[in-house]
Amino acid sequence: MSPNAPAPLSAGAPWIVMKFGGTSVATLPRWQNIRELVSSRRAEGARVLVVVSALTGITDALKQLCAQEDKGKRIEAYQAIAQRHYDLLDHMQLAAPETLAERLRELARLAEEGPALLGELAWSALVQAHGELMSSALGAAFLSHAGLPTQWVDARECLAAIALPNQNERTKLLSAMVEAKPDPALNARLEKLGEVFITQGFIARESQSRTVLLGRGGSDTSASYFGALLKAQRVEIWTDVAGMFTANPRQVPGARLLQKLDYEEAQEIASTGAKVLHPRCLSPLREPRVPMLIKDTNRPELEGTVIGPEVREHAPSVKAISARKGITLVSMESVGMWQQVGFLSDVFAHFKQHGLSVDLISSAETNVTVSLDPTENLLDSDAVAALASDLAKVCRVKVIAPCAAITMVGRGMRSMLHTLSSVLAEFGQLRVHLISQSSNNLNLTFVVDESVVDELVPRLHEMLIAAGALRTDDSALFGPSWQSLYGSGETVMAADAWWRAECRDQLLALAAEATPRYVYHLPTVRRQARELKTLTAVDRMHYAVKANTHPAILRALAEEGFGFECVSPGELKAVMAVVPETAPLLFTPNFAPREDYAWALTTRAAVSLDSLYPLEHWGEVFRGREIVLRVDLGRGLGHHEKVRTGGSGSKFGLPVDQLDAFLRLADTHGVVVRGLHAHLGSGILDVKHWGEVYSQLASIAERIGSVAFLDIGGGLGVPSHPGEARLDIAALDETLRKVKAAYPHYQLWMEPGRYLVADAGALITRVTQQKGKGSWRYLGVDTGMNSLIRPALYDAWHEIVNLTRLDEAATALYQVVGPICESGDVIGSDRRLPEAREGDVVLIAQAGAYGKVMASPYNLRDEAEEVILE
């Protein structure tokens, strides 16, 4: 025994099962990696059982061997397969161990002999099983040679397939199932043999001792069977990605690693599209309550996903959104079927007869619609046509394809519906063929046209985060994004925020003097302004002052060369009081009284109109003047329905169908439309939006003739939830430059508010009291919706931190509430924070936009004062 070898294990030491897939066992460096990982588990004091797949490509090569009718070709195929193993042995500088030599001899014999003796299916199963038999034999030799004595175990001696109803010879031999219960005898037998073992995934034996295959997801399932048999401490699945994600990372690079899931959730995510794990492999672990850990072989330092028995200590959250393509819907219509005994049974008999398994079902008085999932069915058009023609005998059939099923997964979906309003609204623009809510309350599925999903899923993922339905702030559940782990980098939210490190002490000192206080960090305002100035396509930038009218901010933005967009005489006056006379001004009111326009026209501001009324009734006020016309492009966008300013449900903008009437009135009064304006909403994170607005405005401007500039509004969003991606300003510029190239004769104006100031402001407040109520814990602070109404009004999300205890572990789950006499006075719900004490300073981030300006004297609580940090 070498001096640092771990002490021998005693009887009853726990087991860890580690499974490695095809690519993880195909090269020498990968095996060296396996050796390290296995010894680290052994060093934890565990017995280790390694379960391996065949070397990558070998299972396919074996299948091809099986497909050859010609013996010579089969032998050739055998030789190529054997050579792959010899090559790897060569790299390992190992001679072929007897276990492998024996397998190779048997495979050669099987290739020579063909299926005649054993029968096609049994022969094919045995041939294919050799992939794993060989890789495990090779692995045992390598690990033992590398100083980790490893026993080779034949999985067929441990895993016995069970007979199932409706099983034919094919499923029995090629898609077998095992009932794995803790088996103390196996445990005892192995304990006597050693400490580290290696066996095969994918294979088992049946009642006549023939070799059978476990079908899809086979090796992972084997690992689970062994985990259950040995009642292991855990089963580790080592693969090429760190675990399960909140969406398919190939579709949604911002998808977050799911660090903890319960069996049912993980199974649901696996069944509705995630490829990392086969849904089948979780059920063996449930009863013995063996946890599963998914890990990245190349990045063992990453946390991975732990799947185990249900954990209840987290806020309810949607865990993932997935999409399955290739779904076929079969809609069956029959008058008077409702509650007719046997109708459904007749219909489903046809599905059974065609070997098709049904996934989703929805029914109405005269219609039943079901979906067929291609992963569970061989769905070629012939199979569907044959089914349809049989069904036509009992009802009217319509086949709708290709469709896709979009599924949101989370424990207790029904209790989260209220958080999904914006997400559901998104489906309002689409053809939804079927909606289904699983009876286990774990998923909500929408079947839509397949063509829309690639674009839709990333958007929905973003909206779920923005709506606080996917609680990415819970860092115990949601890990880093795929992009930040494997991609070219993503701006990590607020990790470098000014208040976190740079100004923390200053903030604590300010809070010691007085709370609540709004604190604004001018360097952040300037940084944002300079970033926007890199938009070369934009001819004139205005700051929408409604976001924050603090004079120091107005002054700083004037210095950065911004103009100002104002919506009331009050805002105009506040701006004019502090900025130089050269700064351009816009006046874009809505339903303002006549005198506001009359007064604004006495200033240098460009005045905009957004209805017929002013010209119809107060034409003389505008006579001979140039104005800006705000139009409604028929749709609104933004982080919440209350901030969407387009479409007939919104009071803003002149509908385009009234344009001619407006132009006639303008003509009558000698009014010239010099600018066109549209602003569709606030908190938009899709760069394409502004390009579309420019194009639409340009085409309207072409009809008018007198237009010189197009104001495409503001609305530039800043991500508020961890993991949301920032607006890509370079991409925005690119988009704008393209559309501008098509209509180069218009000036391009913008008027963002939030983007400039949101991150620059924080609200500091102090802990007053705490209260426990049932399983809820309330953390009281000394201000609430009177200072910051956005959470109550828009369910807006603001990061909340305990500034006093920034470095302490966040172990409590709080509802952070203010002192206002309203149930809606909740600044943040289900926030994970350190245990707080009275007097702790709590900081509410991103409060620079629409914070103080929307504050009220409600309950006559003192308003938060404002402090500027230069």
Residues near ligand LLP (CB under 6 A): 544, 546-547, 565, 588, 643, 645, 679, 682-683, 713-716, 751-755, 790, 794, 849-850
Q: Which residue lies nearer to ligand LLP by CB, 100 or 762?
A: 762
What is the chain's length? Answer: 870
Distance of CA 601 to the CA centre of its chain: 49
Closer CB to ligand LLP, 19 or 542, in the complex: 542
Query: With respect to ligand LLP, which residue has the nearer C-beta, 217 or 683?
Result: 683
Q: Helix/strand/coil (H, E, C) string of 527-546?
A: HHHHHHHCCCCCCEEEEEHH
Q: How far is the CB of 463 from ligand LLP (least distance, A)?
A: 15
Cβ pair 677, 628 in contact under 8 A: yes
Is 821 noted as a catalytic residue in this protein?
yes
DSSP string covering 816-868, please? EE-SSSSTT-EEEEEEEEPPP-TT-EEEE-S-SSSSGGG---GGGPPPPEEEE
Q: How far apart are CA 648 and CA 556, in angstroms?
A: 37
Least CB distance to ligand LLP at residue 714 (A): 3
**Which is nearer to ligand LLP, 691 or 752 (by Cβ)?**
752
User: Which CB, 249 or 818, lies closer to ligand LLP?
Assistant: 818
| Distance from C-alpha of 104 to C-alpha of 415, rounded to nearest angstrom | 57
Strand partners, 748: 710
Contact 820, 785 (CB under 8 A): yes
Question: Please, are residues 744 and 781 in contact by the beta-carbon 8 Å criterion?
Answer: no
Q: How far is the CB of 685 from ligand LLP (least distance, A)?
A: 11
Closest approach, Cβ 792 to ligand LLP, in A, equals 11
Q: Which is nearer to ligand LLP, 231 or 533 (CB)?
A: 533
Nearer to ligand LLP among residue 337 and residue 710 (C-beta): 710
Output 306 or 566, the one with its CB closest to ligand LLP.
566
> Token pair for residue 556?
């700083």
- Concatenated DSSP letters for 162-230? ---TT--HHHHHHS--B-----HHHHHHHHHH-SEEEEESSEEE-TTS-EEE--TTHHHHHHHHHHHHT
Q: Which is nearer to ligand LLP, 242 or 643 (CB)?
A: 643
Burial class (CB in 10 A: 0-12, 13-18, 19+), 847: buried
Q: Which residue has the tokens 């495990």?
A: 136
Q: In angstroms, rounded to a whole number, what is the distance separating the alpha carbons of residues 538 and 557?
A: 16
Nearer to ligand LLP, 322 or 682 (CB): 682
Greatest pairwise CA separation for the chain in angstroms: 103
Beta carbon of residue 721, minimum distance to ligand LLP (angstroms, whole number): 14
Name the DSSP letter for residue 760. G
Contact 588, 630 (CB under 8 A): yes
- Retrieve residue 618's tokens: 């107060």
Helix (H) or strand (E) holding 12: none
Nearest distance from C-beta of residue 669 to ligand LLP, angstroms = 24
Nearest alpha carbon to residue 751 among 709, 714, 697: 714
- Smallest distance from ligand LLP to CB 737, Å: 21
The answer to whether 554 and 564 have CB atoms below 8 angstroms apart is yes
Three-state secondary-structure class, residue 610:
coil
Shortest Å, Cβ 681 to ligand LLP: 7
137: burial class by Cβ within 10 Å (0-12, 13-18, 19+)? buried
Q: 């993932």: which residue's tokens?
A: 320
- Minimum distance of ligand LLP from residue 642's CB (angstroms): 8
Q: How far apart, in whole angstroms, are the C-alpha atoms of residue 454 and residue 813?
A: 35
- Select which of 66, 281, 403, 821 is catalytic: 821
Q: Which two tokens stand for residue 431?
A: 């053809």
**How far is the CA of 287 from the CAs of 282, 351, 850, in angstroms?**
10, 32, 52
Q: Give me the least distance between CB of 793 and ligand LLP, in Å please.
A: 8
Q: Which residues are catalytic?
A: 821
